[in-house]
Every structure is written in structure tokens, then in C-alpha cells.
Amino acid sequence: MPVSLHLSSPVRAALDQHQPIVALESTLITHGLPRPVNLEVARRLEALVRETGATPATIAILAGELYAGLEPDQLERLANTDNVRKVSRRDLPIVTAQQGHGATTVAATMWVAAQAGIKVFATGGIGGVHRGQPFDVSADLPELAQTSVVVVCAGAKAILDLPLTLEWLETHGVPVLGFGTDTFPAFYSRSSSLPVDARCNTAEEAARIIRAKFELGLPGGVLIGVPIPEEYAVANEDIEPAILQALKMAEAENVRGKAMTPFLLKHVSELTAGESQKANIALLENNARVAAQIARALTT
């Protein structure tokens, strides 16, 4: 374990006693949600994981040090600091060497979780292959192919090319499971109509497949798609115009690289007003609960 990986005392205790732990990412706190909801949601996700019988481990980088599990004042500092760096895999050495603050993406959160020995991670949506840009592939995808952490998400946003994203995962051997669904969820929408590799109706069923993957010695993670709770789902046709407009704006403003995903997310969220934010929070909470159930099923 690298010297600069700090574990909170509850996370350390849970690891020592082989108790269930759920990693939580921090890019959604700094780049995904506005203040002050970002801190409220970050706290609520931790509380929901605890209520479901697991220990939360929010992952972030503070002054160049890696943390798995934040103290309440550290979480508050992260949520209220300006210009925190969005840290994916390639940014890890930069932010640690420069002793900066960093919010970890799915890729970087998976990597830190794996270093800590944490097996299950809950997030909102993963990155993927961008529409019309088949070479703009999020580092989240190769991370899923190489790092043995289970990622519980609500699928991926339709700002991405979902068929190409699933093709990429298939090529690189990442099992994609549907939690109570036969199709890959599309974040705001419960279904993308693209089939998953297997449907699991319970956390125990998911745990059996996850355990089998680890026992076979197959490297890489497992992706679990949990549909957004019905009452918060937004129809595809209600979101699509906002996505198309955001894509046009990105092109007009020449947005590139790591700025692309936050740019699209921000504009889709603005263009769809409060509706998308409510949905976002509902699915994050749901995913935290499901991840805690799966983490528990894996320890029994």
C-alpha cells in the first residue's frame, strides 16, 4: 500500500474485520452537483451506506495525499473548495506530486479503492465512449477492464454513445449486469434497450457472479447497472434535445479532453432545470443502498 494512502478509522476497522465497505467517488461532489446540495448529498450517501449495514469510504485527494474515508471536516472542505482538480488515472501522479486537492473520477476511485482493498464502489453514471468521437473513450472503461472493483451505477448518460460503450466493455471482458433489469440503464431513463450480459434480481445473485469472477482469477471489475427509481425517471425524448444542444455548444466552444464530460453534464442539467438534478440525487441514493447490499452479500 503506498505510504500516502490514508484510511479513516472506520474504514480501517471494517477492513481488519472483513466487514462490508462501499467506496464513493468525489468528482460528483466537486464537478457533478452545485453547492450546497453537493455536501448534503455526499453526507446522505455516506449515511445511507451506514444504514444499510456497510462502512462508507469516500475517496479523494487532499494536499496530495490519497484518502479512503474522509472525516466530516475533510468532506466539507472538499465540497467547498474552488478549483479542485478532476483526477482520473493519468492525473494521480500529477496531483500527488504537486500536493493539490483532487476529486476522483470513477477510474481513479476504482484504483484507490483497489489499493485499499475495497471491493465495491457506488457512483451515479460512468464515463464511456463519446458520441461522434469514437476515440474519446473515458479512462473509466480501461479501469473497469483492469482493476478488480465492482462498480454500481445507473448506467451511463445519453450524452455518451451507449452502444459503443457496451461494445468496448465486451471487447475488454467486463461483465455488465442488470440489477432487476434485462437492459443497460441510461441514467435518467430506466432502459437503453441494450441488453446486459445477465440479470440479477438480488444482491446475493450479483455477489455469486462477482465471486465467480474473482475465483476464476479474471482481472478487472464488474459493472452493475441499477435503473433509476421509477418515480424519478425522465423520458429519453425529454432529455435528448438538451443533449443535442449541449453537444452543439461544446463544438462551438471547442471543448476538448477532460473538460468535455463536465461541460456536457453542466449544460444538460441547466437546460433541463431542476428535474435532472432531482433524478440525479435519487439514483445516487438508490445506488449507494444497492452497493451496500452487494458489499454485505459478498462478506457472507
The footprint of Mn ion (CB under 5 A) covers 136
Burial of 66 (C-beta count, 10 Å sphere; 0-12/13-18/19+): buried
Closest approach of Cβ 176 to ligand PSU, in Å? 16
Report yes or no: 10 and 49 within 8 Å, Cβ to Cβ: no
Tell whether residue 189 is a contact of ligand PSU (CB under 6 A).
no
Using the Cα atoms of residue 60, residue 46, residue 220 and residue 175 in order, give the sign of their dihedral. negative
Q: Is 25 a catalytic residue?
A: yes
The footprint of ligand PSU on residues 43-82 (CB under 6 A) is none
Q: At which residue does the C-alpha cell 460512468 appear?
A: 126
Which is catalytic among the residues 86, 157, 213, 258? 157
Are residues 111 and 143 in contact, defined by beta-carbon separation less than 8 angstroms?
yes
User: What is the 8-class DSSP label of residue 183?
Assistant: B
Max CA pair span of the chain: 53
Nearer to ligand PSU, 58 or 105 (CB): 105
Residues with Cβ within 8 Å of residue 16, at least 6 apart in sequence: none
* 95-124 positions binding ligand PSU, by CB under 6 A: 105-106, 124
Q: How far is the CB of 54 from ligand PSU (least distance, A)?
A: 21
Q: Is 174 in the site for ligand PSU (CB under 6 A)?
A: no
Instruction: Compute how many residues bind ligand PSU; rule: CB under 6 A.
Output: 18
The answer to whether residue 275 is catalytic is no
Residue positions annotated with a catalytic role: 25, 157
Q: Footprint of ligand PSU on this chain (CB under 6 A)?
A: 25, 27-28, 32, 88, 105-106, 124-125, 127, 138-140, 157, 187, 258, 261, 265
